[in-house]
Each structure stands twice: as C-alpha cells, then as structure tokens.
C-alpha cells in the first residue's frame, strides 16, 4: 500500500543549526514522484520540491537540500544554517498511484513541526 511516514513529530533547533527532516515512503509503483510542502504559521501550504523516482541526484536550492534514496525508500530534507523564518510544519507527499486511487491524489505524511529559536 502507499504510505508516507514522517517519524519526527517536532524538532526544535537554535538558529544557524543544520536540521534534517526525515521522510520514508512505501509504494508499489516503479515510477513515482515525491513532494515536500511547507506550512508556515500563517497556514497556507507552499510547494517546495518535486522529485521523480528516476532521478536520485541530490537537489540543492539555497539553504535547502534533498536526499532521495530509492534503496531505503527515503526522501529527506535538510535545512542548512536554519533561520527563524524556517519555522513551519513540513509535509512529505506521494501520489496514490496505480491501483490505489490514482496518480492525481496525494498521500500526505503527518508532518514535522520545526521550531527554530533565535
């Protein structure tokens, strides 16, 4: 079955620390995408990144980086030199996929609440 697990419920760090948010997934599909979304205290969901299962290269965007490893079914998100503005809930998501309700429907993990203190 399709499943997304974010085992870290809450993480608290001090500004400028590096922090990694874990995402482990289960899928029956051979081709799939994975997503990360950010939900700041204001409440809206903001798309951060989409990765295709064909591409296991790490992705870096400024202070954000993503490590995708099919061998361990993980898609982890690292924030380098964290800032107070990074405080938010972060969600990992996976399409339901073939035979599980369709590719247009996402399964979200429970989210990891990150608090960055000055």
37: three-class secondary structure by DSSP: strand
53 binds another protein (CB under 8 A): yes
In terms of Cα–Cα distance, which of 92, 69, 79 is closest to 16? 79
Residue closer to another protein (CB basis): 46 or 60: 46
Note whether 55 binds another protein by CB under 8 A: no
* Burial group, residue 41, by CB count within 10 angstroms (0-12, 13-18, 19+): exposed
Q: Which is nearer to another protein, 31 or 83 (CB)?
A: 31
CB of 66 to another protein, least distance (A): 15
9: CB partners within 8 A, 6+ apart: 110, 112, 113
Nearer to another protein among residue 82 and residue 112 (C-beta): 112
Parallel, antiparallel or unpaired: strands 112-117 and 10-14: parallel
| Per rule CB under 8 A, count of chain residues that contact another protein | 29
**In this chain, which of 3, 16, 63, 105 binds another protein, going by CB under 8 A?**
105
Cα(54)–Cα(81) distance, integer angstroms: 29
**Binding positions for another protein, rule: CB under 8 A:** 4, 9, 29, 31-33, 35, 37, 43-47, 50, 52-53, 91, 95-97, 102-106, 108-111
């Amino acid at each position: 079955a399709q499943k997304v697990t974010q085992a870290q419920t809450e993480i608290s760090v001090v500004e400028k620390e590096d922090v990694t948010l874990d995402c482990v997934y289960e899928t029956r599909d051979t081709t799939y995408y994975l997503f990360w979304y950010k939900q700041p205290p204001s409440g809206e969901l903001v798309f951060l990144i989409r990765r295709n299962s064909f591409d296991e290269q790490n992705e870096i965007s400024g202070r954000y980086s993503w490590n995708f490893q099919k061998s361990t079914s993980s898609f982890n998100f690292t924030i380098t030199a964290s800032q107070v503005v990074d405080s938010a809930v972060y969600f990992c998501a996976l399409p339901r996929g073939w035979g599980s309700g369709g590719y247009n429907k996402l399964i979200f993990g429970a989210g990891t609440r990150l608090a960055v203190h000055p």
